[in-house]
Amino acid sequence: MINHRTSRWLVLPAILILALVFAGCTGVTKPEGWAGPTLAEQTLLVAHKSKLYALDSTSFEARWIFPSSTGTEGIKPRALYGTPAIENGVVYIPTYSNKLYAVELATGKLKWTSPFKAGDTLVGGVLASAGKVYFGSSDGSVYAVDGETGGKDWSFSTGDEVWSTPVLSGTTLFITSLDGRLYALDSASGEELWSYETAAGVAATPVLGDADGLIYVGGFDARLRAIDVATHEQRWVAKATNWFWATPLLANGVVYAGGLDGKVYALDADSGQAHWDRPFKTNAEIRAAPVMAGNVLVVVDRGGHVYALDPQDGTMAPPQELELGADVLADPFVLPSGEVLIATTGGELVRIDPAKLEIVSRTKLGS
């Protein structure tokens, strides 16, 4: 018998399955991880393979490493795919070994007596808000955990694996699933409020509109959709030639989305109409989210080519891309200085001046 989860993947063309594998699929013998950098209280958190590095945000010197020999020895995360969340001086770390850990931001020491254990791997990032920690699992469930104790508040079952990061708006939690649905859940109880079904799996984190009542979702059906939160209906849809996996960027009334077809699409957030004359073509598929650094749109493709684009027309400025010499799967991060930080799959942190598209520094993690 073919179950729902299996049938979801059987309908996908073989070439797209290969695209998933090459883009960094989780179903591999040696998982590598692709968690993006994040910052809290002058501490920069950066993952590489199975370790999380807490660095001084100015000097990039290590403050602590998880796991390490300071009370976390014996912990084997296997890989870190989801970006951690930080709240009230605590870092919540999702791991490919299906456990969620809580450590003190200042010291890296364990906060919980034992980690929270899900039924399968944790691929997406974590959201922490008002003392609760929300995340999805490859067991198909969305979890809400008490941030102080690590005890489960509630869980909600979707029809397939959950690889995205939850998004919170008021008391409504939004999350996507490989069953092809966008779910709206009550954040207090986990009760389903409504859902919207697309034509294929969704791994990308949804993006909420500023004040227009829309939520933007990219999926494995090569469609980017704007869903009306009030009516639960599609406002508009834009089509690419391969999957949308990277999280879209909403800035100044425009949605910027990179696809596995190696193109960056710029669409009017309200109407879905093209904002540029044509999509911008990169040298490789795009797995990392675009970021806005000042008035520069920074895009990094999987091959480590960095592009500085004019967000108004999609032209390059400077006219030549920057080559990092290593693959990039993690989302870039805009530092308070306005510089852009990129983590490569080789474990290097590259700091870039977006206006000049020049490398400011390169730091090897663990060195």
**Same structural domain for residues 230 and 307?**
no
**What is the C-alpha separation between 60 and 320, in angstroms, rounded?**
28
Pairing of strands 141-146, 333-334: unpaired
**Same structural domain for residues 346 and 240?**
no
Collapse the DSSP code of 216 into the 3-class scheme (helix H, G, I; strand E, B; otherwise coil) and give the result. strand
**Same structural domain for residues 48 and 98?**
yes
Q: How far is CA 354 from CA 271, 282, 301, in A?
A: 29, 17, 15
Whole-number pLDDT of residue 114:
95
Look at residues 341, 264, 262, 356 and name the one whose alpha carbon lies nearest to residue 308: 356
Q: What percent of the chain has pLDDT over 70?
A: 91
Name the amino acid, one letter, at 135. Answer: F
Partners of 144 in beta bridges = 134, 154
Task: Among 239, 265, 285, identify where a domain stops.
Answer: 285
Whole-number pLDDT of residue 327:
96
Whole-number pLDDT of residue 27:
46
Whole-number pLDDT of residue 326:
96
Q: What is the CA radius of gyration of the chain?
A: 19
Q: How far is CA 113 from CA 78, 100, 102, 292, 296, in A?
A: 20, 12, 9, 40, 45
Choose between 296 and 26: higher pLDDT.
296
Mean pLDDT, range 127-135, rounded to an integer? 98
Neighbours of 18 (CB within 10 A): 11
**What is the C-alpha separation between 118 and 95, in angstroms, rounded?**
10
Whole-number pLDDT of residue 210:
73
- Helix (H) / strand (E) element for 20: namely helix 14-24
Q: Distance between terminal CA atoms of the chain?
A: 51
Whole-number pLDDT of residue 8:
46
Look over the chain and give the mean of its residue pLDDT values, rounded to a whole number. 91
Number of domains forming the structure of the chain? 2
Residue 95 lies in domain: 4-285
pLDDT, tens digit, 9 for 90 and up, residues 211-246? 779 999 999 999 999 999 999 999 999 999 999 999
pLDDT, tens digit, 9 for 90 and up, residues 326-360? 999 999 999 999 999 999 999 999 999 999 999 99
**Same structural domain for residues 323 and 267?**
no
| Residues 117, 109 contacting (CB under 8 angstroms) | no
**Same structural domain for residues 211 and 126?**
yes
Query: What pTM was computed for the model?
Result: 0.92
Phi/psi for 16 (5° steps) reads -75, -30
pLDDT, tens digit, 9 for 90 and up, residues 1-34? 323 443 344 334 433 443 444 444 444 456 788 9
Task: Among 239, 264, 285, identify where a domain stops.
Answer: 285
**What is the C-alpha separation between 24 and 245, in angstroms, rounded?**
11
Whole-number pLDDT of residue 212:
74
Mean pLDDT, range 37-45, rounded to an integer? 95
pLDDT, tens digit, 9 for 90 and up, residues 76-123? 999 999 999 999 999 999 999 999 999 999 999 999 999 999 999 999
Whole-number pLDDT of residue 19:
42
**What is the C-alpha separation between 284 and 263, in angstroms, rounded?**
9
**Same structural domain for residues 187 and 332?**
no
Q: Which residue has the tokens 């697309």?
A: 198
pLDDT, tens digit, 9 for 90 and up, residues 141-162? 999 999 999 999 999 999 999 9
Look at residues 355, 351, 253, 340 and name the one whose alpha carbon lies nearest to residue 310: 355
**Same structural domain for residues 157 and 56?**
yes
**Same structural domain for residues 195 and 249?**
yes
Whole-number pLDDT of residue 74:
81
Task: Among 285, 303, 322, identify where a domain stops.
Answer: 285
Q: Report the CATH number that the domain containing residue 309 is assigned in CATH.
A: 2.40.10.480
Mean pLDDT, range 197-211, rounded to an integer? 93
Q: Report the CATH number that the domain containing residue 261 is assigned in CATH.
A: 2.130.10.10
**Same structural domain for residues 10 and 139?**
yes
Whole-number pLDDT of residue 29:
55
Look at residues 59, 36, 58, 60 and name the one whose alpha carbon lies nearest to residue 47: 36
Whole-number pLDDT of residue 25:
46
Residue 209: how many CA atoms within 13 Å on its side-chain side?
A: 20
**Same structural domain for residues 265 and 316?**
no
Whole-number pLDDT of residue 12:
44
Q: Buried b vs exposed e over 94-129: b needs ≥16 C-beta within 10 Å?
A: bbbbbbbbbbebeebebbbeebbebeebbbbbbbbe
**Same structural domain for residues 10 and 88?**
yes
**What is the C-alpha separation between 53 and 349, in angstroms, rounded?**
11
Torsion of CA 67, 68, 74, 76, to 10 degrees: 30
Could you tell me how far CA 360 lies from the centroid of its own chain? 25
**Same structural domain for residues 238 and 274?**
yes
